[in-house]
Amino acid sequence: MAKAIHMMIRVLDEARSVEFYRAALGLGIADRFQFDSFTLVYLRSPEADFEIELTINHGRTEPYALGNGYGHVAVAVDDLDAEHARLTASGFSPEPIKEFHREGALMAQFFFLTDPDGYRIEVLQQHGRYR
C-alpha cells in the first residue's frame, strides 16, 4: 500500500520560502541536501510525517510558470479562526474563510493562503474527513 510522504515545489529563494513555511505553517527543516546544480530542503511539522520538498535550482532567477495543472496543498488546523487571525496579523493576507455544505451539513470550513512563489495552500478546520 502506498503512503504519501512528500510533495515537491520549485522555489526561487530558499531563505524566503523556508521562513514563509516556518512562520505561516510551523514547518521546520527536517533535512537539507545540497548538490552541484540544486538544493533539496524538506520541511515538516512535528505532528506529521508528510513533508514539503523545496527544490532550489542554483542560478535560476526567473519565476516558475505554475501552469494550470497545480491546484493546492492542504493542511488542517485545530482553530481555523485563530489561524486566520494570526496569519492576517502577521501580514500574510489570507483569503476570507469559506464554507462548503453538502446535503444540509457542514462539509468544510477553509481559507486559502499563497506562498512567495505563488503556490496556493488550503487551510482547513479539522472536521469530518479533514484531520
Catalytic residues: 122
Nearest to residue 58, comparing CAs of 38, 40, 33? 38
Distances (CA, A) of 2 to 5, 13, 45: 9, 32, 21
Is the separation of the CB atoms in 43 and 54 below 8 Å? yes
Q: What is the DSSP secondary-structure string of 33-75?
A: EE-SSEEEEEEE-TT-S-EEEEEEETT--SPPP-TTT---EEE
Residues 6 or more apart in contact with residue 6 via CB below 8 angstroms: 42, 50, 51, 52, 53
